[in-house]
Structure formats: C-alpha cells, structure tokens
Amino acid sequence: MASVASVLSKEQLLCPICLDVFNQPVSTPCGHNFCRGCIQRYWQTNNLPQCPMCKHKFYKRPDLKVNTFISEVASQFKEFGEKKCEDKTGCTGDVSCDVCIGKKVKALKSCLDCLASFCETHLEPHNVVGALKKHSLINPMMNMQDRVCKKHESLLDRFCNTDQMYVCRVCVTTDHKAHNTVRIEDESRDKRVQIGNINADLQEMIHNRLQKICEINQAVQLSKRNTERENEDSLQVFNKLLQVVQKGQAEVAEGIKAKQKQIESGASEIIIELEQEVHQLRHRTTDLEQLSHSEDDLYLLRSFPAFSTMPVMKDWSETYVESAEHVGTVRRAVRRAMCQLEETVKAEVKRLCETEFKRAQTWAVDVNLDPDTAHPKLVLSENKKQVYHGDQAASLPDNPARFYPCVSVLGKEGFSSGRIYYEVQVKGKTEWDIGVGLESVNRKGGNLLNPERGFWTLGMRKDGKYWALGSPPVCVPLVEMPQTVGVYVDLECGQVSFYNPDSRSHIYTFTGYTFSERLFPYFNPRRNHGRVNLAPLVILPAKI
C-alpha cells in the first residue's frame, strides 16, 4: 500500500505563509493550516487576530494546538522526499567509488575522460600513469554517464549556440558542423558572468525591497505616533469642555441648593411665629371654656369683659413662601455656563483650525496653468500663474482637453497620491470657482460642478454667497469675505478642504471619496460681466 507521502503532492503540505512543508502545523478556527511560528509572527506583525487566507477576524487570538495528523503526514513527506532526493543526480550527498566492490567507499575525484568516480586508492593510477595524468579530474559527481553523447559515446564538451544543446567533438564535425559551437568552459565562463550580473540585480532588488519595508515600517511608526498625538490632543479638548460643563453643572446645583435653603429658613421662621400665636390662642380658648362652665354667675359676669375682646395678632393673609421651581435662577446659571462653554468651544475650534491649517501648508506644491485646457476666452499670464475672462476669443485648436463652453482651465500638474496644498488669490472678484477635478472630467458641455461629475469645488456668486458645489450645493456662511482661498487635498483619505489663509480658518471639507485617477487643480474665473468680474485668479507662490 502506498504511503501518504507518496500519494499527496508537495503543494498540499505547504504552509501558505512560508511556502515550505509544514513545521508544527496548527489549524485556525476557520479551518486553515499554518506553521505555528509563521502564524504567530503574522499576528505579531499585523497586530490583528485574523486568518491570512480568508481574512476571518477572531474576537481574540485563538489558543492553537498542533494538528498531529497533518504533522505526521508532513514528517512522512519530508522523509520520503529526502530518500527520493538521495537517488537523484545532482542531490547533495556522498558519491561512491565506481570501482569498489561490496561496501561502497566515498569517491575522492571524478574523471571526465574515464567517466567514472574513484576513491583515493583507485585514483592512484591517475597520479602515476603518464597517459592517465592527462585526464581531467573534477570533484566527485554522480551519474557521469549523463555527460556522454548518446549518439557518439563521446564526452559532451561543447555547447551549440545555434541549437542550444550540449554536443561532443564528433557532433561538431557532423550534425553541427556549420553551427556556432563553443567549449563548455567558455560557455560556462559567460554564464558565470551572467550569473554574477543576475545576482547583482537580485541583490539590488532585495536591497530596494528591504529599503521599502523599512520605509513602510517608518511610515507605520510615524502614523502610530501621529495617532497617539491626535488622541492626546482630542482628549485634552474634550476634558477641557467637560470641565466647563461640570463646573457649570456644579454652580447650577449649588445655586438651587442655596435657594432651597433660603426658602426653608424663611418658612421655618414664619412657622415658629405662627406656632407661638396658635399656642396663645389655644390658651385663651381653654380659659373661655373654663369660664363658660363656671357655676358662679357673679364671677362669670365680672370676668367676661377681660375675655370679650379678641387678642391682638399679626395679619398673615399677605404672607406666602416662594415656590421651589427656581426657573429664573436655573436659567441664568445655565445661560452663564453655556456662554462660558461657547467661548471655550470657539477658542478650541480656532486653535484646532490653526493647527490643521499649518499642517495643510506643509504639503504646498507649485501649480501652473495648462494652456491646452483653457477656454479660448481665458487670458493666461506669461508665467501661467494668473487667469481671467477676456472679451475676445483666441484662435486656438479645439483639442479634446480644452474646456468649452465652460470658461475653465486645469493645472498643468496632476497628482495621483499623497497630499497637496495651494493658494489662490480671489481679491476683487465677484464670482469664481476653485478646487480640483479628475483627469477624465468632461471638457465639453455645461458647467455643472459636483463630485458625481468629478469636481470638488468651492464657488462664490455675485450675491456675495459662498457655495460648496456638491449634490445639492451647500451654502457656506462666512463671517468675513476671503481674499485668498487655500485648497488642501488628501488623496489617500479622499478629502478636499478649503481654508481662509488670512484668518487661518476652515471653510468647508468634502470627505469620504475615493480618487481612482489623477486629480488636477481646477480654476474658473467666471465671465467678466462687462468687466465687473475682470480681476484675475492668481496662484500664489508655494510656501514650502
């Protein structure tokens, strides 16, 4: 019966990570198998317990046990492979002497002329016999018969470049007479040079990839540090806001408590006074009750005048205690707390915007206008940094890249990765559109700008309103009219933001997009409307 190792193929026993035969194979809960060391290193590197094959995520890192069945099969396969390798030509191992009978003795040299391998004893004739001394000896090699021409039974010592095959000296004079043949030593020397060149290229490729791994690891570490910093900054902000809220809440609670205490204190004083008067009145009623039951009529008549008048008491009809609703007090306290919170929020928003804007500026790029995309009525400056709408159309070829009838123009440089930032002066203009557009945007047709059509832009109209041109457009209320607009794009995060560089404030951000092709800066100075909107859009120098 065939062994398991002889039935299974090597591919069935390879670890998907190291691509070698399993070593201490373990099975994940999703049913895939890996070397124990490979899967542990994978989880340590990725810091995420998931299967490398199906990407199934685990709630926690599973406690993996060695799969004994697969381990035994892999062990049998290794043993079978090693035994099979011993029987093959070219496998590492001891070469036996071809002359020794019985117990095989390790060969010392192989002879290319005798086509046999010899131990130290049987090699002796090659060292003393004159004719044998001229034979070519090499390090021991198995299956020397493979070096003999099957047709002429002569040593294969030539290489035919024409037929790309090994030939003997007889072949050179017969079948390969007109072919380009060279000695095997010469061909081997050339191949060694090629091997050296290939190895040098491979070493360079290895170096480049190791360098790329280093760059990626550095980027991951930088991202980790940035994430930690952002978490700390956001925590500080929320803690500060939470302190303001907690302080306001404490003040409101203290105010309510003090008011209640005041009410209870006033009510207690009134109750004490009322209880004293009740005591006096009850004492009078007791005296009157006793007088009414007196059997001495003369005594009753003489005593009655003293009890006939009502005792002098305070008028309590206008006395009341304030209710415990505290509406005015609470609202005033909450209003004060909210005002303080609003001031804190504004200060933090301003600080965060300034920080965000400074980071965006670090990605400043140099932008130039592309005249091949400009509408015929657009006038570009000589340095390709300014553009406005003129009255006369220039005679230009109507190439597919040129905008028409939209009075638009793109930047010369496109961007497919990373981050970019540039600033455009809009001073003196009553209308404009600024942003970025995909390389594939339609250059012919209407001037409808939105992300669905490949544009992410901010615009101003003659009524003085600013619009984020989405679907639908979003009116952006601004406290002050920007004289310059900064455009920031993060292609990896799918974000396009607009800033007012003068106040270092944020205007609007498009988020959640995927840019599958190059992005180009987009400019539309809009029509000049009888020279009212003649001021140019000016690309300011990059502050790198």
Q: What DSSP string describes 261-277? A: HHHHHHHHHHHHHHHHH
Distance CA 318, CA 298 (A): 42
Q: Which residues make Cβ contacts (< 8 Å) with residue 384, sequence separation at least 6? A: 368, 369, 370, 371, 412
Q: 184-292 vs 297-307: helix axis angle to the nearest 10?
A: 140
What confidence score (pLDDT) does residue 152 get? 80
Q: How far is CA 398 from CA 375, 376, 403, in A?
A: 9, 9, 9
SS3 content of the chain, % helix, strand, coil (to 5): 40, 20, 40
Question: Locate tokens 């002889």: which residue?
Answer: 6
Burial class (CB in 10 A: 0-12, 13-18, 19+), 175: middle
What confidence score (pLDDT) does residue 11 get? 65
Q: Contact 364/424 with Cβ under 8 angstroms?
A: no
What confidence score (pLDDT) does residue 88 get? 42
Backbone angles phi, psi at 254, to 5 degrees: -65, -40
Q: What angle do CA 456, 461, 464 make, to 5 degrees?
A: 120
Q: Contact 517/439 with Cβ under 8 angstroms?
A: yes
3-state secondary structure of 525: coil
Per-residue pLDDT tens digits of the chain, which is 544 residues long? 445 444 555 667 788 877 778 888 999 888 888 888 888 888 887 777 788 888 888 878 888 888 888 888 888 877 766 555 444 433 345 788 888 877 778 889 888 778 788 898 889 889 888 888 888 888 888 777 777 888 887 778 889 988 889 898 889 888 898 899 998 888 888 888 888 888 888 888 988 888 888 888 888 898 888 888 888 888 888 888 888 888 888 888 887 888 888 888 989 999 999 999 999 999 999 989 998 998 888 988 888 888 888 888 888 888 887 765 655 666 777 788 888 888 888 888 888 888 889 999 999 999 999 999 999 999 999 999 999 999 899 988 889 999 999 999 999 999 999 999 999 999 999 999 999 999 999 999 877 899 999 999 999 998 899 999 999 999 999 988 999 999 999 999 999 999 999 999 999 999 999 999 999 999 999 999 889 999 999 999 987 5
What confidence score (pLDDT) does residue 387 get? 98
What confidence score (pLDDT) does residue 427 get? 96
What confidence score (pLDDT) does residue 190 get? 85
What end-to-end distance do the CA atoms of the chain give, in Å?
76
Burial class (CB in 10 A: 0-12, 13-18, 19+), 19: exposed
Q: Contact 453/471 with Cβ under 8 angstroms?
A: no
